[in-house]
Amino acid sequence: MAAETGKGGAGLSEIQSEIFQAFATYVALLMLKMMVLSYFVISERILKGQFVVREDYEGFGDPQMSKEEIRIKTASRDLYIERIRRCHRNDLENIIPFVLVAVVYILFTNPTTESAILHIRIFAAARIFHTVAYLLPLPQPCRFLAFLVGSLATISMAIRVIYEGKF
């Protein structure tokens, strides 16, 4: 593995340093994109008066609602809010593993700048398109292909790490 070629492991090579500078920006961008979904859920909940716990109705809901109305509304689901929540969960399931795999891929497999940046840009583009496809929504297989491309970028890096790895 890469670090073995150095003297005692320390430090990043210039190539790794260059890759990490671009990587850092994409990490921040993808995390912002993901966190925006939280605010989208909150604004939809307030606009529609559709909450999931009692104190939210008391704090943000219609003050005229009876306990029985609150109970019924809490048990119901708004389809579009559930859609945003699914989109958010899908981001968690895909973007977080990408970030962690990319870090070990950059540090331990000595990729070229081109190869690493390509993986990162393809993943970022695929996930931004995935969010658009989920929230509009676009007809399938748009969302599926966006998931697939992002997922394959991560899997490609993970397999490279395992292939060069030790257990």
Q: Residue 42, interface with its own copies (CB under 8 A)?
A: yes
The only residue of 81, 127, 147, 153 in contact with its own copies, by rule CB under 8 A: 147
CB of 116 to its own copies, least distance (A): 14
Q: Residue 154, interface with its own copies (CB under 8 A)?
A: yes
Q: Residue 59, interface with its own copies (CB under 8 A)?
A: yes
Q: Which distant-in-sequence residues (6+ apart) come within 8 Å of 113 by Cβ?
A: 15, 18, 19
The only residue of 11, 62, 72, 118 in contact with its own copies, by rule CB under 8 A: 11
CB of 76 to its own copies, least distance (A): 11
The binding track of 89-128 with respect to its own copies, each residue x by CB under 8 A or -, is: ---xxx-xx-xxx--xx-xx--------------------
The only residue of 20, 40, 132, 149 in contact with its own copies, by rule CB under 8 A: 20
In this complex, which beta carbon is closest to its own copies, that of residue 100 or of residue 118? Answer: 100
Q: Which distant-in-sequence residues (6+ apart) come within 8 Å of 117 by Cβ?
A: 19, 22
In this complex, which beta carbon is closest to its own copies, that of residue 13 or of residue 115? Answer: 13
The only residue of 44, 65, 83, 113 in contact with its own copies, by rule CB under 8 A: 83
Cα 3 to Cα 107: distance, rounded to the nearest angstrom:
8
